[in-house]
A and B are shown apart, each in its own frame.
Chain A
Amino acid sequence: MSALLKDVESIHPSLWRGAQLARSYGKTVDTGYAALSSELPGGGWPVGALVELLVQQPGVGEMRLLKPALEKVSRRPIALLQPPHVPNALAFSFLGLPLEKLMQVRATSTADALWSAEQILRAGSCGALIAWQHHIRAEALRRLHLAAQATETLLFLVRPLASAQDASPATLRLGVRAADEGIVIDVLKRRGPARTETLSIALQPSPILLSPYGRIRRHSPAKVVAGGVPSEVVA
């Protein structure tokens, strides 16, 4: 009996101890940030499952967090559903995502947005679906989660940080806040042990350092020799 209990997790691949991360998670897509990947079951974003990103406000760095994963699935279209502001096409091309695969869907009502999300998932032709929602009911979340399970689409739902209090059927919930040099992530829910300390991640590319334009020219202009003729020629 005691021998059996020692390696309980070997009984079935979908069995895991409370102190371990779940192993067989289905397909995953690497997050591109090693510190984060090692904290997620399966070592990446789960495919065909609802992933919630709870952001402090739009613009903390959620797109740069998802960028490596989106790049990997960008063979297929990427749908942005009800983005909070106008997505800047030039920024997406700067992040390295192919513009011709990008698609923006705007819905006037929550019902329309959820309907669109379900249709996109059901068609299964998109590589990733990123949806922004403020208020969403638990039944709707469960329905989205079910729709996602039948597909090979990455589904991210971006919600305000305040909704961390509400229950959700999502398999992975991450709280995202801004920090120096990137973001800090609170793992709110995962298939594995609870993690109390936050995870800080340096996002690439950082917004601050990239202003090559308008930089002061430091190197001195070329020396001008008397008469305008190089000295070797004179000699």
Chain B
Amino acid sequence: MFRPRWSPKAEFGCVVLDREKVLVADALAREAGVLLGMKRGGVLTLAPDAALYERDLLREAGMLHEVAVALMRFSPMVAVCEEDTVLVEVSGSLRLFGGIVRICHQLRQIVEAIGVTARVAVAPTGQGAWMLCKRGKTRVLKMRSLERELDALPYMVVPEIRRFSDWFNGLGCRSLTDVRRLPRAGLKKRCGVDLLDSLDRAYGMTPEVFEWLELPPTFSARVELPDRVEHAEAILFSARRLVAQMCGWLSAQQLALTHATVTLEHERGRSAIEPTAIEIALAEPTWHEEHLVRLLKERLGRIELEAAVIAVRLSATKVQAADPPSEDLFPDPGGSSEDHNRLLELLVARLGAENVLKPAPTADHRPETANQWVSVQMPVTLESLPAELPRPTWLLDKPVRLMVKNHRPFYGSPLKLVSTAERIEGGWFDGDTATRDYYVAQADDKSCYWIFRERPSVTSDEVRWFLHGLFG
């Protein structure tokens, strides 16, 4: 919980203490000789450099809630149960996700993205699954095999029995099947109703009632980074954890994301620094984790951090109802327009909006003013263009001044004018007057150029030739 699984390993081991006694110790600490139940002093003697953490029940509950929200992707029915267990009812989602094996696989990936370890058990009853996962991963689909698996479990997995463990031990009970063989009436009298109820629910003999998790109407989650982070790309792991949660939240509400904000909180040094905000706007609403993570990755790759980051917050700022998936028998071979929008988003995220362009020509006589390109994400209404206007395919950014040799413009070789002039005069209204005569000129190697001669003006009567375009 203190060090997510994807974070780099602590150098000298890491120990979690509960009331001054060791609760968990990692492999490095165990190698140094740290044992469970050891006092703090013992740990400090054996592994003086190990990182010591105090157990934090609130953070544990928070982490469990995060996992539960992320698992909402599979089903809206998710319950947080006692003893750090999350219960997901997936019987309605089997077909959608392609079977229980795939669900388990994806579930494991999500849990890994969040950075914790989990044991996954599957059973026809919730209580049964809860008991099975106490002992390790098991996948049981039929009632009969569930009974067999449960019977073999030691009785200590049932929390209600633990109080009476000495008594059951004295009776010679070892597993649940021994407990179940005892007369029900006697058990009820000595141990109360709860024990029998719990067993009955596990074996599917009485219906189960769960408190399903309720979600807040807005999503905003924050995660503190295990270490201070200097490179934006290292934040991606933490961000993935948030994105996994958000996708769970979106799926459960059947919403699609159109706008989200990622806030990077900086270390408080001498002066507080405003958190860096990354806005993610989506042309095509989405609830897919993969796409969001890819977008975020490209955006984070472009960011220069001013100071070290200590926490990340992700908020869904704008959402809309999700469209049901298309059920076309034959999908478009060229990919749908959603695919294309997703591609544009990805390109914009990496290259920047100013580098992914679409044409937006304006009505102007000057070629460089008429030829405008804007970002693909800007709405543009295309004006109808003059149909029979011959123009070169490529325009130079800035017209190139041409040399004049023997009264002829020269570009590699003397240029020969091969067309009549097209006079363009405009721009007197915005202070950028152009008075030019455009010609098509041919060089010795037969390539054609679009050149213009600036008409002599009041200030100079020198004849100046410029190269402005190439015929692609």
Contact = CB atoms under 8 A, between A and B. Distances in A.
Q: Give the size range of B's interface with the partner.
A: 35 or more
A90 B422 CA distance: 16
Interface in B416-472: 418-423, 440, 442, 445-450, 469-472
A57 B470 CA distance: 10
A191 B389 CA distance: 39
Interface string B344-361: 001100110001111111
Contacts of A212: 388, 390
Contact of B421 (A89, A106, A214): A214
A205 B360 CA distance: 24
B395 A207 contact: no
B340 interface: yes
Contacts of A115: 350
Interface string B371-409: 111001000001001111111111111000000000000
B339 A207 contact: no
Interface stretch (A116-124, A165-173, A222-230): A116-124
A60 B373 CA distance: 23
Contacts of A90: 361, 367, 370-371, 385-386, 389, 391
Contacts of B447: 56-57, 59-60, 178
A62 to B, nearest CB: 6
Given A104-B357, A106-B357, A85 B373 contact: no
A21 B28 CA distance: 67
25 contacts: A59-B447, A59-B472, A62-B472, A75-B334, A85-B394, A86-B397, A88-B371, A89-B359, A89-B371, A90-B370, A91-B391, A92-B359, A94-B389, A103-B356, A104-B358, A105-B355, A107-B351, A123-B335, A125-B336, A208-B448, A211-B390, A211-B420, A211-B421, A212-B390, A214-B420
Interface in B93-120: none
Given A61-B472, A102-B358, A208-B419, A83 B334 contact: no
Interface string A205-220: 1011111111110000
A94 B355 contact: no
Nearest to A89: B359
B456 to A, nearest CB: 18
A89 B388 CA distance: 14
Interface of B: 333-337, 339-340, 342-343, 346-347, 350-351, 355-361, 367, 370-373, 376, 382, 385-397, 418-423, 440, 442, 445-450, 469-472
A93 B363 CA distance: 14
Contacts of B360: 89
Contact of B340 (A77, A83, A99, A152): A77
Interface of A: 56-64, 75-77, 83-95, 99-100, 102-108, 112, 115-116, 119-120, 123-127, 152, 177-180, 205, 207-216
A89 B363 CA distance: 12
Contact of A85 (B350, B397, B442): B397
Given A61-B471, A63-B472, A211-B419, A107 B394 contact: no
B367 A88 contact: yes
A5 B342 CA distance: 53
A84 B361 contact: no
* Interface of chain A: mostly helix, strand, loop or mixed: loop
B392 A207 contact: yes
A184 to B, nearest CB: 9
A215 B361 contact: no
Contacts of B448: 59, 178, 207-208
A60 B447 CA distance: 6
A124 B339 contact: yes
A45 B149 CA distance: 63
B371 A214 contact: no
B409 to A, nearest CB: 16
B100 to A, nearest CB: 31
B470 A58 contact: yes
Contact of B361 (A62, A85, A99, A213): A99
B351 A112 contact: yes
Contacts of B387: 93-94
B359 A208 contact: no
Contact of B470 (A59, A208, A216): A59
A123 B343 contact: yes
Nearest to B470: A59
Contacts of A56: 445, 447
B396 A86 contact: yes
B361 A105 contact: no
A85 B470 contact: yes
A233 to B, nearest CB: 38
Contacts of A93: 361, 385, 387
Contact of B446 (A99, A152, A179): A179
Contact of B393 (A92, A107, A210): A92
A152 B469 contact: no
Contacts of B471: 59, 61, 64, 207
